[in-house]
Structures are given as C-alpha cells and as structure tokens.
Amino acid sequence: MSGKPRLTYLNGRGRMEPVRWLLAAAGVEFEEIFLETREQYEKLIKDGVLLFQQVPMVEIDGMKMVQTRAILSYIAAKYNLYGKDLKERAWIDMYVEGTTDLMGMIMYLPFQPADTKEKNLALIIERATTRYFPVYEKALKDHGHDYLVGNKLSWADIHLLEAILMTEECKPDILSAFPLLQAFKGRICNVPTIKKFLQPGSQRKPPTDEKFVAVVRKIFNI
Ligand SMILES: N[C@@H](CCC(=O)N[C@@H](CS)C(=O)NCC(=O)O)C(=O)O
C-alpha cells in the first residue's frame, strides 16, 4: 500500500463524499476503490472487511474504518480541523450535524418516487432557508471571524461549503437572503486545497443521477 488513505465505496457521492471533501481540504492524497457489482460488496462482507457489513470503508493508519461520522472525526482530529479544545469541538460537532441533516435530505432525493420528489425538494429548500442557513449566517455575524469556529478553518466550514454547493444544485439562488454565507462561500472556495478540489478532474463526484441510483440499488439490493 502507498501509505495514502484508501477509500472503498461506489463511484458516486453518497456517504463518502464528505470524506473526500475533508481529505482534499486537508491536502491529503487518497486512493479509491469503486464497488461496481454486488459480488464485490459480498466478497468484502465474506472476507470480514466491513465491521457492520456497510460502506463507506476507509483504510487509514492501519485501520479499516467504517461509520461515516467516526471516519470524519478521525480525519478532522488528525489533520487539525477539529478545534483547539473541547468546547470548539462541541460547536464543530453541532454545526456538522446540522449540515449532515440537510445534506442527508438532499442525498435521499434521487432515490424517492417521482410523485414525492417535488414535495421533498420544496421541503429541502424550506429547511435550508428557514432552519439551517439562518443559524450559520447568525454564527458568522455574531462570531465576526472568517470561519464558523475559532479563527481557523475547521471541519465545520468544509462541511458547510459542501452543503451550500449541494443546496445550490437544488436552487441556484438559495443564498440570496444570506450575504454573510455568500461571502463565506467565496472565501472557503478560495482555500487553495479546496479550490483545487473544485476544479474539473478532481476526485469530487458529480450530483447523483439515475445511472448511479441504479448501481446503488443493484449493489445493495434495494
Ligand atoms: N451508519 C453508517 C451507515 C452506512 C450505510 O448505510 N451504508 C450503505 C451504503 S451508503 C450500506 O452499506 N448499505 C448496505 C446495508 O446497510 O446493508 C454510516 O454512517 O456509515
């Protein structure tokens, strides 16, 4: 093995995308193994590689880590993106859980039946603009710094930018009533490692399409 973290998942966003974002923002190169068939997934289970028979799985520092949240907090702590003390960590956790909830709604949208999609899209837009974004807008205002927590880039900023870009894919002008989030987006997109990740040809994955939905259904029998 090269020493680089190795990510095992499907060739799409899903639950692995925040891991790709965090590693890329930390400036860490990583390798990826893409599951394309049910057989590949079953072999990993048979070989005892997946603790709970689920992916994402990330090989890092001699561990085969599963559970997205555990993977992300390990990477955040390892690369100094997890605050300077317990209180900063608690704030980062709260902000990240908020963006995780919002991104979860968006992640499931392409898997929903056509007749409920429109209703759920409207709910995502409502939740983003009335529940989640006001919190981050106020946090930036009250805090008065360029970042959500402390005066330094953290996992919370990286996760929020990912969520902003995902919600803009649902509604391009979704930030129109949030001037501080617009400025935040501009700043964080310009962090050199993130800027690189946002360029075409990076390991960032495109929005989930019908083809990817079909692969997910085939591999996980859903
Ligand atoms: N709590 C786990 C959930 C992982 C999960 O549901 N993974 C899906 C793919 S995105 C999976 O492996 N599904 C197969 C199964 O649960 O049997 C995490 O956050 O990583």
In this structure, the residue with its CA closest to atom 10 of ligand 1 is 15
Distance (Å, rounded) from C-alpha 72 to C-alpha 117? 29
* Sign of torsion over alpha carbons 209, 211, 212, 216: positive
Banded pLDDT at 164 (limits 50, 70, 90): very high
Residue 15 has pLDDT above 70, yes or no: yes
Determine whether the shortest distance from the Cβ of 73 to ligand 1 is under 6 A: no
The predicted structure's pLDDT at residue 1:
54
Neighbour count for residue 15 (Cβ, 10 Å): 20
pLDDT tens for each residue of 32-60:
999 999 999 999 999 999 999 999 999 99
Banded pLDDT at 113 (limits 50, 70, 90): very high
Which atom of ligand 1 is least distant from the CA of 50?
A: 12
Q: Is the pTM of this model over 0.95?
A: yes
Q: Cβ(149)–Cβ(95) under 8 Å?
A: yes
In a mutational test of the pocket of ligand 1, which residue from 7, 11, 13, 15 has the highest number of ligand atoms less than 8 Å from its CB?
A: 15
Residues β-bridged to residue 33: 8
Q: Per the structure block, which two tokens stand in for 23?
A: 């590693």
Residues counted in the chain: 222
Kindly report the backbone phi and psi dihedral angles of residue 77, in degrees, each rounded to the nearest multiple of 5, phi listed first: -70, -45
ipTM of predicted assembly, 2 dp: 0.99
In this structure, the residue with its CA closest to atom 18 of ligand 1 is 67
Distance (Å, rounded) from C-alpha 82 to C-alpha 150? 10
* Sign of torsion over alpha carbons 73, 79, 80, 85: positive
